[in-house]
Structure formats: C-alpha cells, structure tokens
Amino acid sequence: MGAIRFDNVGKVFGRANSGFAALEAVDLDIREREFVAIVGPSGCGKTTCLRMVAGFESVSSGRVLVNDRVVKAPGSDRAVVFQQFALFPWKTVRQNIEFGLRNKRTPRDERNELVDDVLKLMTLESHRDAYPHQLSGGMQQRVAIARAYVLDPDVLLMDEPFGALDAQTRVVMQEELVRLARINPRTVLFITHAVEEAVYLADRVAIMSRRPGTIKEVIDVKTVRTSEDWDGFEKIEDVMDLESFVHLRTRIWKSLREEKVAVDG
Ligand SMILES: Nc1ncnc2c1ncn2[C@@H]1O[C@H](COP(=O)(O)OP(=O)(O)OP(=O)(O)O)[C@@H](O)[C@H]1O
C-alpha cells in the first residue's frame, strides 16, 4: 500500500485566470515502499506538491492519487514530518508519540506496545518522560519522526525534515533514516535542498524545474546503489566519495545549475 501518483497536476494561486502559476503538468509515479526525494530551485513548488499529497492544498488541474484514490483531504494513511518539529511542548516524548494513536482510538494495550516499539526503534527509550524543551533539535526531530512512524502510515511525507539541524546532527539523522528505510521500508516523499542528502537517502531523485514547477528529470539511484553495493547500512562518509555516488551527485547538480542559469541568465 502507498503508491502516489501526480497526474498532469497544475496549481495556480489566486484567481484561476489571473493568478500565479506555481505548478504545471507535474507527472510523477511513486511506487509502494519507494523513497523518492524531490530537489529543485527555491520556489519551484516542492512543498506545494507535498501539501497536495497530504491533502492540505487543492490541485487546480490534474489529479493527485494515493493508493489509486484521488486525494481530497488529509487522512491517517498519510503522515507528515515538517522542518519545524511541531511537538506539543506540554506533553512528554511518550505522550507526543502516543497522541495520534489516541486520536485513532487504538486500544490502550496495543497503544503501549506500539509506542514501546517505536521508542526502541528510534533509540528514545531513555528520553521517554522528557519534555521537548529538554531535548536537542536532533532528538526532537527523532520524536517527530517516531510520532509519524508509530501510526504506520502508507505514506510518509517529509518536508526538509533535517533543514533546521546542525551539520553533525543532520548526518546522524540521515543515517538513522537510512536504517529505518532498510528495516521497515515505507513509501516516502522527501523534500530537500541538499543534493547529497537526496542521493544518500532516496531510491529515485526527482528534479524540478523553476517556476512554474514541473518534473524535469528523474534519476534512478537505487539501481546504481544496488549494483555498486552501497545499499546496506553504510555511513554517509563511506559512500560519498565513491565514484558512483559522485557521478549521481554531479549529474543532479548540473541539472539544478541549468535551472539557476535559466533564472539568472
Ligand atoms: N498559499 C499560497 N498563496 C500564494 N502563493 C503561494 C502559496 N503557497 C506557495 N506559494 C508560492 O508558490 C511557489 C511555490 O512555493 P513552494 O513553497 O511550494 O516552493 P518550494 O519549492 O517548496 O520553495 P522552497 O524551496 O523555497 O521552500 C512560491 O513562489 C510561493 O511563493
């Protein structure tokens, strides 16, 4: 479960005929349990795409489907992790993680078991009773990811989830996400500005063009990763100098650079 499809999607903000075209003819198919990262110049519409899948934003034309159903509103089959951690400050780590399960009316025993499992998976057990303000940024984002994971959504939507973290914490979280993706693969739509992060995490990287945004190119990372044998739990520093990694990174860079040149030049 969890396939996402953008079918000729357009978005105009403001009035239909005098508004501002943010997206045009966006086509993208994300398979079940596939991890797709979207990169693109600032303002090209990455977040808008993600918000459409989440059901927070309507489409102006075309369709967005999840599991072959047109998205009309938010739903428990999709969970979102934002750059800002958005935890409840008055709730402990455990209560924050438990919140969505309570909303879903999951019975207490099952809820406890699920929360215990995810606390362990995300190595948060020793912080279970802490409040968000007592945690570092990285730890808070780990709680936000745990909170999404515990709901076992078909689709995980991540909008620059590591954008607010310092460089070292960011690397730890990237490795953590690779570990989760290998142990318990989900369908993930991940937005980032960081090309290296996209190549390290994603099965495919979709490159968007500048405004009005469209999918310009999709790069298959997984085939390269599997054939070059870096599809396990490798640390980012162990892969980022490999020729195959550098090649993919450079290819994406060049494609993004063309977009920038198109804007500036
Ligand atoms: N609610 C809105 N009303 C009007 N314009 C909007 C609205 N939301 C987004 N936009 C505009 O649509 C364009 C795409 O925005 P979006 O946030 O999706 O881009 P992005 O690629 O995620 O940008 P960034 O990389 O800078 O976060 C931008 O020009 C933005 O200003």
pLDDT tens, residue by residue, 35-71: 999 999 999 999 999 999 999 999 999 999 999 999 9
What count of Cα atoms within 13 Å lies in the side-chain half-sphere of residue 36?
Answer: 26
Whole-angstrom Cα distance, residue 218 to residue 21? 22
Question: What phi and psi values does residue 260 have, to the nearest 5 degrees?
Answer: -65, -45
Q: Are residues 196 and 216 in the same domain?
A: yes
The rounded Å distance from CA 48 to ligand 1 centre is 6
Question: What phi and psi values does residue 250 have, to the nearest 5 degrees?
Answer: -65, -40
The rounded Å distance from CA 191 to ligand 1 centre is 13
- Give yes or no for a contact between 199 and 222, defined as CB atoms under 8 angstroms apart: no
Residues forming beta bridges with residue 117, ordered by sequence position: none
Q: What is the DSSP-derived secondary structure letter of residue 134?
A: G
The rounded Å distance from CA 98 to ligand 1 centre is 32
pTM of this prediction?
0.91
- Give yes or no for a contact between 73 and 24, defined as CB atoms under 8 angstroms apart: no
Q: What is the pLDDT of residues 203-216, one digit of tens each?
A: 999 999 998 999 99
Residue from 9, 18, 44, 207 whose mutation best tests the ligand 1 pocket (most atoms within 8 A of CB): 44
Give the three-class secondary structure for 231: coil
Q: Are residues 140 and 199 in the same domain?
A: no
Q: Are residues 125 and 193 in the same domain?
A: no
Residue range of the domain that includes 142 = 81-152
Q: Are residues 172 and 70 in the same domain?
A: yes
Q: Which amino acid would we find at residue 97?
A: I
- Please report whether residue 255 resides in a domain: yes
The rounded Å distance from CA 45 to ligand 1 centre is 5
ipTM reported for the complex surpasses 0.85: yes
Residue from 20, 58, 84, 158 whose mutation best tests the ligand 1 pocket (most atoms within 8 A of CB): 20
Give the three-class secondary structure for 51: helix
